[in-house]
Structure 1
Amino acid sequence: MNFAAKAPAIWRRLAKPVAIIGAGIAGLTAAFDLERRGLQAAVFESGRAVGGMASSFKDAEGYTYDFGAHFVSNRLAEALGAADISRTVGRYGEAVALGGRSYSYPFGLAASPRYAASAVAARLRPGEVANAADWFRNAYGAALAEDVAIPLAEAWSGAPASKLSPAVGQKLSAGVLKTLYLKAASRLTGRAVCNGYSHEMPESPGIYHVYPEGGVSRLLEPTMKQIGHRIALESRVERIFVERDRVVAVKVNGREIGVSAAISTAPVHLLPRLVEGTDRLDALGAFRYRPMIFVNLRFEGRNLLPDTMLWVPDRSQPFFRITEAPFSMPWLAPEGRTQLTFDIGCEVGDAHWTMSDEELARICLDGLCRIYPHLRARYIGPGGMLKTPFAYPVYLASYERRRQDFARDTGVAGLYSIGRNGEFAHLLMEDIYWRTLKRMQHVADYVGQEV
């Protein structure tokens, strides 16, 4: 099939573009870097706006909230050209609600004699590791694993920890000495020093949390100014055509366009439906993502939680995490008020997914007041409710080997997958950025060889 002959004249006159599917942070970073390298990028976004998961909303009452939780470092803000609109975050911490008490994470839990003794016993007599449950027991001890780590992993993933790959735990590991060092640096500098938010780049006292004024979506504005003309909104990629195991074209809104390569940010289990001409990606159809609901409730007062984020391993609760973003970033809510975000793991079409906004607000408020009864009197009302069917990749042990293979290569020449959904990886924003840049070097090398 001669795709080039069917393509519009503009694509025939110029070198075949690199097609990028999705205009989130990964897609925009990829386009910007390819253009910098002298390669033409064509970004196709099915929605009406750019940003993807890096989207922010601000309502008429002055509340700002993101689509999920985002952690931005000063290094990332600077790399994206958004340092001048980003404010320094003074503090950030996590706590765990357990047995009617709140423990700081990780040191409050480590100070518990029960958990400390269990952790020491696990270090002295480590067991075999076949799944995530084993990994947690070896790393934290049986007591902390059973009370905290395993319930949270299961709520977050929707799968038994015994069915999850050990890689789930390995993504969470951080050295005690490093944590102590960076926590001390945070106290001394008065800045929320990053700890465990980047595995691609080193962390130090000079790398700290910031937040763009107006929301996380503003991080993308400088990039948009550079490559906005390369973005086609409401442009759905319907097919990626492969001939002789190489990408040759894409079909967008019914129109076929010859391309030199294709870069996808779409959830990987959708790739087999998009790619035509090979069955090499069929196994990806079994990969699972965890749907999530983010419920925002508004309250009078500030600093209602023990710290910015509260983990809730109690499985009788509908949520497993509560975040008070104004605890660390007070400008995200009107003066004297705050907003709590509740994370509910679910499945599309289940009881939680189909609940009304009013019912979701009620069950979250009731659950919160089982932990902190006095907060009911401070409740103002619900904020926005956000739902996504692709919140987090689920590392099931049943396809772990295939996941690792896919992390190295898609198996189709000229086809690349980037971003958290595209890589099927537990990535925060900064690692998405650096990993995307590394992948673009591979794309540039491939296109150069094909020209």
Structure 2
Amino acid sequence: MKPIAVLGAGLAGLTAAAELKRRGLPAVVFEAGKAVGGMAASFKDAEGFSYDYGAHFISNRLAKALGAEDICRTVRHYGEAVRIDGRDRSHPFGLMAEPRFLASALKSRFASRPKTPAANAEDWMRRSYGDAMAEEVAMPLVEAWSGAPARELSSSVGEKFGNSIVKSLYLSAAAKVTRRAVCNGYTRTMPEGAGVYHVYPEGGLARMLEPTLRKLDGAVRLQSPVERILVDKGRVVAIRSAGVEIPVSAVISTAPVNVLPRLVEGTDALKPLAAFRYRPMMFVNLRFSGRAILPNTMVWVPDRSQLSFRLTEAPISMPWLAPEGKTLITFDIGCEVGDARWTMSDEDLARTCLDQICALYGEELRGRYLGAGGTIRTPISYPVYLGAYETERRLFSMSTGVDGLYSVGRNGEFAHILMEDVFWRTIRRMEDVARYVASPSEGSQPAVSLEERLAGLGLSAPGLSQPA
């Protein structure tokens, strides 16, 4: 059998290759970089402060599935707050204790609901949370995180949000009883319960992937970017890497979906994906003496005048990430590549973030400031669900439109999912790949017309470029 090419050696790519090998199928992982792990990366500076490439949440269930449970520490506490009007409210229940938010939410809940689906993200938030919370909390945060007005975003943004209030109450109570950071809204693929809680690997995130890498036994090719995915008559036939054409039976991509049209040669089926947008982000780390500067591990800041919309003090939950008596705060900053924020120097970013936290939590923090811990910039952080291409996005969620080409992972699926969802969804997707390579003549895509696929989504459009 010709090998199955896997593009990218992050969590999704390595999981896909290992699952294929378990099924007795040959897979080769092509990684453009010098190391595996992708965005599952951690850094430690000379002073002993550790920080991740963005926020990652790992459950004990995922650690066990990866064979890494023995190197993980249990996270005993995790919580979120929202900073409004100079005060911190716990999320979500402290918000609902605010009279104006509660009254607005109740009014929305008991109002006669429109029979038509929500027109956009703003409409969805107003229906779900009421006008007050939508305007003061949900919309500012979603707009900072996505870089687009809520009215231009699809109502599918609501898929990102977590459990029902009843389920959240149960999981919050379970966390207090078990004294563990029980997962609450971090996976949609698998059920959450009192026995599923956050952990963190000794030595950093990339260590989670070491057992999987050992299973692959040399099947990963580093510094080997795939230059082209070759398609003939609607079916993947080969890839080109380092100028060499390699016949393959299928391709599994973890690349951002808007890159695929440039990689695929021999079809225009993926052309609409070129319009899909990802939100660039910067993560600025500041070091301080003391601990518990923030009221909880994460604080959301729905104030459009502030530089950062999310502050995280990871050592509150994982004290080993900073030296004793010290702490690290990460500032999430939305931007666009090349804009005024993106081009700010690291020194100016650190100074502005220090000004922000001092304005929020007191000028005395300047005396506790120990300097910047580094800035991470990524041009691709979160998928942006613009309404302009919602039809194309939903079609892509069903299939790539090319036989033998599969797209997995957060970037590859263009989905608001975290690590556990990435893992289980990739495992399940490999069932489709196994069926396809066993009987390629049957095709990997739904044997239905475009019109039927649109109808199955409740859509009707004369062409892919037409919004539903």
TM-based fold match above 0.5: yes
SS at match of 1:322: strand
Partner residue, 1:189: 178
User: Does the CA contact (< 8 Å) of 1:64 and 1:214 recur in 2?
Assistant: no
Partner residue, 1:413: 403
Deviation at 1:61, TM superposition (A): 1.4
Q: Following TM superposition, where does structure 1 have runs of at least 4 consecutive aligned residues deviating by more than 2 angstroms?
A: none
1:313-342: CA deviation from partner (whole Å, max 9, x where unpaired): 111111100001101000011111110000
Aligned residue pairs total 437
Matches within 5 A, 1:247-286: 247-286=236-275
Partner residue, 1:12: none
SS at match of 2:154: coil
Equivalent position to 2:311, from 322, 325, 331: 322
Matches within 5 A, 1:158-173: 158-173=147-162
Cα distance in 2 for residues equivalent to 1:63 and 1:377: 19
Matches within 5 A, 1:281-292: 281-292=270-281
Equivalent position to 2:94, from 108, 113, 117: 108
Partner residue, 1:357: 346
User: Does the CA contact (< 8 Å) of 2:160 and 2:417 recur in 1?
Assistant: no
Matches within 5 A, 1:397-408: 397-408=387-398
Partner residue, 2:131: 142
Partner residue, 1:45: 31
Matches within 5 A, 1:39-188: 39-125=25-111, 126-127=113-114, 129-188=118-177
Deviation at 1:191, TM superposition (A): 0.3
Partner residue, 2:428: 438
Cα distance in 2 for residues equivalent to 1:82 and 1:325: 21
Partner residue, 2:212: 223
User: Does the CA contact (< 8 Å) of 2:14 and 2:212 recur in 1?
Assistant: yes
User: Does the CA contact (< 8 Å) of 2:7 and 2:30 recur in 1?
Assistant: yes
Q: Does 1:338 align with 2:324?
A: no
Cα distance in 2 for residues equivalent to 1:425 and 1:418: 10
Q: Does 1:202 align with 2:215?
A: no
Q: How much is the aligned-residue C-alpha RMSD, in angstroms?
A: 0.9
Cα distance in 2 for residues equivalent to 1:246 and 1:346: 38
Structure 2: runs of 5 or more not aligned: 442-468
Cα distance in 2 for residues equivalent to 1:245 and 1:55: 36
SS at match of 1:229: coil
SS at match of 1:402: helix
Deviation at 1:450, TM superposition (A): 3.1
The one-letter amino acid paired with 1:449 is S
Partner residue, 2:374: 384
Partner residue, 1:393: 383
The one-letter amino acid paired with 2:169 is L
The one-letter amino acid paired with 1:432 is V
Partner residue, 2:447: none
Cα distance in 2 for residues equivalent to 1:283 and 1:307: 42
User: Does the CA contact (< 8 Å) of 1:58 and 1:214 recur in 2?
Assistant: no
SS at match of 2:168: helix
The one-letter amino acid paired with 2:8 is G
Q: TM-score, normalised by structure 2?
A: 0.92
Bigger drift between 358-367 and 170-179 goes to 170-179
What is the percentage of aligned positions where both structures have the same residue? 64
1:109-128: CA deviation from partner (whole Å, max 9, x where unpaired): 00011100000011122456
Cα distance in 2 for residues equivalent to 1:368 and 1:214: 29
1:58-111: CA deviation from partner (whole Å, max 9, x where unpaired): 122111111100000000000000000000000100000111000000000000
User: Does the CA contact (< 8 Å) of 1:21 and 1:44 recur in 2?
Assistant: yes
Cα distance in 2 for residues equivalent to 1:345 and 1:83: 33
